């Protein structure tokens, strides 16, 4: 870690109850190798105790601390300050889009959670139960190589915030939910199939791939939506998804 400190000004979105939203400025000394969440926590601890923000695990396993940093969706607990500004620079911090704001930087992600339950997504699975890719045998940890697992979705909401379709239609299931639906595959459940192929399902996606761009958990929701489209067509033609 670097020992030289930077002066950084944080422009923080503020909103209380029915009050008018505005931005507050906080200038603090930071180590550039600290995370944006560290700076926000310190602003709360030493400058303004009224600041409301969500966080829990501080290492990208819970998904609570998603925000927009300089307009881009980030999991703030693993976003290095050095990657978003420079010494003497500014960092603008906003709550996620496409969710109701509770206060300041905290949003209500209830809809996302409810929909994840509706598609039966399971967030914590042993490696033996979820293969790396659909149809692939259960994973053994190899000395080399990466794995992609849908259980890795931490429901942080970054993909929903970044999605241009979620921004125009609150009914759209959204990237995390559709990716979550793939965990079971479409053959498992008729309700799931209707949801996925329905008007708020896979065909609403415009393939912007913003979701994959911002996903901090390597779930690659856009690719999963494309895979689901394939499954929907197979199921329509041959009666089974695979």
Partner 1 sequence: MSKPHVIVIGAGFTGVATAHDLALRGFEVTVVERGPIVNGTSGRTHGLLHCGGRYCVKDQESAIECIDENWILRKIVPQVIEPNGGMFVALDDNDVEYGESWTAGCDACNIPYERLTPKEALEIEPNLNPDLLLAYSVPDGTFDPLRLALAFAATAKSNGAIFRLYTDVTELLMDGQGTVTGVKIWDRSADERGELFADVVVSATGAWSGQIAEMAGAYVPIQPTPGVMVAYDRRLVSNVINRLCKPSDGDIVVPQRRMVVVGTTSYDVEDLDYVPVNEEHVQLMLERGSELLPTLRNTNSRGIFVATRPLIGAGIPGRSVARTFKCFDHKENDGIDGFVTITGGKATTLRMMAEKTTDMVCQKLGVSVECRTAEVPLLSYRQFYALQN
Contact 42, 72 (CB under 8 A): no
Among 20, 22, 49, 190, the residue binding partner 1 under the rule CB under 8 A is 49
Cα-flanking dihedrals φ and ψ of residue 14, to 5°? -130, 140
- Answer yes or no whether residue 27 interacts with partner 1 by CB under 8 A: no
With respect to partner 1, which residue has the nearer C-beta, 184 or 208?
184
Tell whether residue 131 is a contact of partner 1 (CB under 8 A). Answer: no
**Near partner 1 by CB under 8 A: residue from 11, 127, 208, 226:** 127
Backbone angles phi, psi at 116, to 5 degrees: -65, -40
Q: By CB under 8 A, which span of 52-60, 66-74, 92-100, 174-182 interacts with partner 1?
A: 52-60
Q: Which is nearer to partner 1, 83 or 242 (CB)?
A: 83
**DSSP label of 152:** G
Report the DSSP beta bridge partners of residue 26: 10
Q: Which is nearer to partner 1, 146 or 199 (CB)?
A: 146
- Coil vs helix vs strand at 235: helix
Q: What is the DSSP string of 70-106?
A: TTEEEEGGG-BGGGT--TT-EEEEEPPSSS-EEETTE
Find, among 176, 124, 127, 126, the residue nearest to 147 by Cα: 127
**Interacting residues toward partner 1 by CB under 8 A:** 1, 16-17, 19, 34-35, 41-42, 45-46, 49-52, 54-64, 77-78, 102-104, 106, 108-110, 113-114, 116-117, 122-127, 140-143, 146-147, 149, 151-152, 154, 217-218
């Amino acid at each position: 870690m670097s020992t030289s400190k930077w002066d950084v000004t944080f422009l923080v979105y503020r909103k209380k109850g029915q009050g008018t939203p505005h931005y507050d400025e906080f200038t603090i000394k930071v180590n550039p190798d600290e995370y944006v969440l560290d700076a926000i926590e310190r602003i709360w601890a030493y400058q303004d105790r009224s600041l409301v923000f969500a966080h829990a695990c501080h290492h990208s396993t819970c998904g609570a601390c998603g925000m927009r940093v300089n307009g881009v969706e980030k999991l703030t607990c693993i976003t290095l300050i050095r990657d978003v500004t420079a010494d003497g620079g500014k960092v603008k911090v906003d709550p996620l889009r496409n969710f109701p704001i509770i206060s300041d930087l905290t949003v209500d992600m209830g809809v996302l959670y409810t929909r994840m339950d509706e598609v039966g997504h399971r967030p914590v699975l042993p490696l033996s139960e979820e293969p790396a890719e659909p149809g692939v045998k259960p994973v053994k940890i190899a000395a080399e190589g990466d794995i992609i697992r849908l259980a890795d979705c931490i429901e942080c909401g970054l993909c929903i915030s970044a999605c241009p379709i979620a921004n125009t239609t609150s009914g759209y299931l959204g990237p995390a939910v559709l990716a979550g639906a793939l965990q079971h595959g479409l053959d498992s459940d008729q309700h799931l199939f209707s949801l996925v192929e329905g008007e708020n399902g896979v065909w609403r996606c415009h393939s912007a791939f913003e979701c994959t761009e911002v996903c901090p958990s390597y779930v690659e929701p856009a690719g999963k939506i494309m895979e689901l489209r394939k499954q929907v067509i197979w199921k329509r033609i041959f009666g089974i998804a695979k």
